[in-house]
Amino acid sequence: MKPTGGFRESLRALPWLAPTLVLIAGVVIYPAGLMVYTAFRKFSSYGFEQGPAGLANFNGPAGAFTFPTVPMGRIWLNTVVWVVVVVALTLVLSLLLAQFLNLNFRGRKLLRLAIILPWASSVVMTTTVFHYGLQTDVGLFNRLLVETGIIDHAIGFTKNPTMAFWVAVFVAIYVSLPFTTYTILAGLQSVPDDVLEAAHVDGANGMQRYWSIIFPMLRPSIAVATLINIINVFNSLPILKILNETPGYNTGHTTTTLIFEYKAQLGPGVASALSLVNFAFCLVIIAIYLIVVQPTKEVA
């Protein structure tokens, strides 16, 4: 092929790319465009369009950032804490778990299966199990904690917004572990044995072998796992929504759950306005991660 035939070549590829392009236009570009449009339209709380809104959905009297009684600062902080804590703890635990699952022992297959199970079940279902288990009167987890003497009376873990937030963090880590662990496990299995053996012969101890050889080689897997986790966790709605029983604008929200609270009370215009900013915020978090950690840098 001649290098100058770029345009022609693209044209020839078009019929094969067309289905994908149509799909992207239909399920990504059109809804995103509609969201931007909606953010600048006035809606009644019933969801009925009433005309142009200018910036009122952002900073009007009932705007996304100016609606009274919404603890906006706290909600931004929650959002950052939610993403950073869940993703970081998931990663650390997954690194340990993957290392363990990479060992050779009896029953390894069964254990690997057990760890993948939370991933195979629906997040809503898993969260609902935790939600019921933590109820004060009928909850099994509460009963277990009381009867083992860890706490002396049942606690309404999900009845207080701040406590419910931390329960949600726990559940989010729990459901994120399988995917992350398996991504890292796949990375571990691509570390060549002869390199490790050579290091061993050269007298490197376990720690040195891990930090100087294994960890750098895991970089691509960690990068993939972290990026996908950031996006997933940032957009995660069901866990926080199911576990936070307190209604209204409380200290247990992240911006993503706030979007849905707004949708119910103030209509789709305000919800879209917050979605737009929320989306930009997610990109900023990812950009910071990419710039600071440089996970895609090739191993020297």
List contacts with other proteins (CB under 8 A). 24, 27-28, 31-32, 34-35, 44-48, 50, 61-62, 67-69, 136-137, 153, 156, 158-160, 227-228, 230-232, 234-235, 245-250, 261, 263-266, 268, 275, 279, 282-283, 286-287, 290-291, 294, 296-298
Rounded to whole angstroms, the Cα distance separating 217 from 200 reads 17
Say if CB 171 and CB 220 are below 8 A apart. no
DSSP string, 163-197: HHHHHHHHHHHHHHHHHHHHHHHHHHHTS-HHHHH
Residue 115 or 263 with smaller CB distance to other proteins: 263
* Cβ 110 to other proteins shortest distance, Å: 33
Rounded to whole angstroms, the Cα distance separating 178 from 121 reads 11
* Cβ 213 to other proteins shortest distance, Å: 23
* Cβ 3 to other proteins shortest distance, Å: 18
Residue 99 or 251 with smaller CB distance to other proteins: 251
Residue 96 or 287 with smaller CB distance to other proteins: 287
* Cβ 169 to other proteins shortest distance, Å: 19
Cα torsion 234, 235, 236, 238: sign? positive
Rounded to whole angstroms, the Cα distance separating 101 from 94 reads 10
* Cβ 103 to other proteins shortest distance, Å: 32
* Cβ 85 to other proteins shortest distance, Å: 20
Long-range contacts of 214-219 (CB under 8 A, 24+ apart): 214/188, 216/299, 217/187, 217/190, 217/191, 217/299, 218/95, 218/184, 218/187, 218/188, 218/191, 219/295, 219/297, 219/299
Residue 164 or 185 with smaller CB distance to other proteins: 164
CA 9 to chain centre: 38
Say if CB 83 and CB 172 are below 8 A apart. no
Residue 31 or 192 with smaller CB distance to other proteins: 31
* Cβ 146 to other proteins shortest distance, Å: 12
Rounded to whole angstroms, the Cα distance separating 186 from 43 reads 49
Q: H-type helices in 44-71, by residue range?
A: 56-59
